[in-house]
Amino acid sequence: MSTQEALSALSQLLGDRLSRSKSDLAAHGASETHFPPAPPEAVAYPETTDEVSQIVQICARHGVPVTGWGAGTSLEGHALATRGGVTVDFGRMNKVLRVNPEDMDVTVQPGCTREALNQELRATGLFFPVDPGANASLGGMAATRASGTTAVRYGTMRDNVLALEVVLADGRVIRTGTRARKSSAGYDLTGLFVGSEGTLGLITELTLRLQGQPEAISSALCAFDEIGPAVDCVIATIQMGIPMARIEFLDAASVAAVNAASNTGLPVMPHLMVEFHGSEAGVAEQAESFGALVEDFGGHDFRWSSKTEERNALWEARHRAYWSILASKPGATAVVTDMCVPISRLAQAVEETRADIAQSSIPGPILGHVGDGNFHAILLVEQGNRAEMEEALALSGRMVERALTLGGTVTGEHGVGMGKLGYMESEHGQGWEVMGEIKRALDPANILNPGKVVRGN
Encoded amino acid at 287, one letter: A
* Beta carbon of residue 92, minimum distance to its own copies (angstroms, whole number): 25
144 interacts with its own copies by CB under 8 A: yes
Does residue 157 contact residue 183 with C-beta atoms inside 8 Å?
no
Checking phi first, is residue 417 left (phi over 0); if not, alpha (psi -120 to 50) or beta? left
Ranges of H-type helices in 63-202? 114-121, 138-143, 151-154, 157-160, 189-193
Q: Which of 64, 146, 283, 357 lies at the binding interface for its own copies (CB under 8 A)?
A: 146
* Beta carbon of residue 21, minimum distance to its own copies (angstroms, whole number): 32
How many residues bind its own copies (CB under 8 A)? The answer is 96
How many other β-carbons are positioned within 10 Å of the β-carbon of residue 124? 15
Positions in 166-225 near its own copies (CB under 8 A): 168, 172-189, 191-192, 194-196, 200, 211-212, 214-215
Q: Which of 95, 158, 319, 398 lies at the binding interface for its own copies (CB under 8 A)?
A: 158
Residue 212: alpha-carbon gap to chain centroid: 23
Please tell me the distance from the alpha carbon of residue 198 to that of residue 196, in angstroms, as a whole number.
6
422 interacts with its own copies by CB under 8 A: no
Q: Which of 63, 331, 422, 429 lies at the binding interface for its own copies (CB under 8 A)?
A: 429
Q: Which of 127, 228, 398, 432 lies at the binding interface for its own copies (CB under 8 A)?
A: 432
* Beta carbon of residue 86, minimum distance to its own copies (angstroms, whole number): 23
Q: Which of 123, 361, 441, 456 lies at the binding interface for its own copies (CB under 8 A)?
A: 441
Positions in 75-114 near its own copies (CB under 8 A): 100-105
What values do phi and psi take at 277, rounded to 5? -120, 135
Please tell me the distance from the alpha carbon of residue 302 to that of residue 177, in angstroms, as a whole number.
45
Among 302, 303, 337, 344, which Cα is nearest to 322's? 337
SS3 343: helix
CB closer to its own copies, 256 vs 454: 454
Please tell me the distance from the alpha carbon of residue 200 to that of residue 56, in angstroms, as a whole number.
12
Positions in 269-308 near its own copies (CB under 8 A): 277-279, 281-282, 285, 289
CB closer to its own copies, 184 vs 361: 184
* Beta carbon of residue 146, minimum distance to its own copies (angstroms, whole number): 7
Ranges of H-type helices in 297-332? 308-319, 321-327
Positions in 329-388 near its own copies (CB under 8 A): 340-344, 372-374
Q: Which stretch binds its own copies (CB under 8 A): 3-11, 53-61, 304-312, 400-408?
A: 400-408
Please tell me the distance from the alpha carbon of residue 69 to that of residue 413, in angstroms, as a whole number.
18
